Chains A and B, each alone.
Chain A
């Protein structure tokens, strides 16, 4: 059976499914991708055969960022989902249920790479548990994020009900 990848937005209103292999994964540093993602760069993975991409729940809303390219996102929660151009569609890797399945192999748009981006693996690190004292609400937090797998119902009947 062909490998299946699923994903969607944070709230779960938009879900997608890809049958078969993913295409090339990359990170793009260009200023359009930075601003569209609110980040240092955009991680995108191609879909080699658009026919194998199915929107299984809801649809992405589009912003036409230039005459050739549109960017899809969830209108309910804002998650960036796609980059769509004449040469095909690419998916935001962080929106995959398993982002580990798409390790990038190339960097694009490096003329706009930020001066500190290459040092971002060297700065100090901490796990979320370290923040419990400063932010005690974390200990009792109930996530309303859609789980990292398909679900039968949406919206969930109660917060966290889809989490298992």
Chain B
């Protein structure tokens, strides 16, 4: 059902916080509720569950915002990437799908909280498409690619990278 049993790694955009999960990727889904929307500045928050026993923060730790008493949301305090959703006392943690290094390794199986879904959601998939293009910059897209400060999509031995 869209899940996997292999080891999955991920982290924030800058790389200060990294994680690893093993075992089943549980209930990968998109949550459209207004709390998930505002927490992530997005139309929905895509989440993947993991057993807390098979999950670890391998570099740094997220900061947490208690969006209600039972629930807290983890993010990187250096770059802001939304990373986790946790029900306090639960044996599980949910991580944000887009923070995975290999995002296509897991496929969402359900939409939850659809009472909050934006009315144009289903129309987004039919919009005209363009590839990345930064012709407005002197060196084009290469200006971004050659100075990209995003952490690579795999674990690294040291952080921050010394050559940046």
Binding site for B on A (CB under 8 A): 9-11, 27, 30-32, 34-40, 42-43, 61, 63-69, 71-81, 86-87, 92-95, 99-100, 103-118, 120-121, 123-131, 135, 137, 141-146, 148, 159
Query: Which chain A residue lies CB-closest to B65?
Result: A77
CA distance A123 to B29 in the complex (A): 9
Q: Residue B130 contacts which of A99, A108, A116, A145 (CB distance < 8 angstroms)? A: A108
The interface residues of chain B lying within 8 Å CB-to-CB of A36 are: 13, 79-81, 150
Q: List 26 A-B contacts (CB under 8 A).
A: A10-B67, A35-B99, A38-B46, A43-B42, A68-B143, A71-B13, A71-B79, A76-B65, A79-B39, A80-B80, A86-B136, A100-B119, A103-B123, A104-B127, A113-B129, A115-B104, A116-B104, A116-B107, A118-B125, A121-B122, A123-B109, A125-B112, A128-B113, A135-B87, A141-B69, A141-B70
Check A35/B33 contact, CB under 8 A, given A10-B38, A141-B70, A144-B67: no
- Are A111's CB and B81's CB within 8 A? no
- Are A107's CB and B65's CB within 8 A? no
- Are A145's CB and B125's CB within 8 A? no
Query: Which chain A residue lies CB-closest to B62?
Result: A78
- Are B45's CB and A39's CB within 8 A? yes
CA distance A86 to B144 in the complex (A): 12
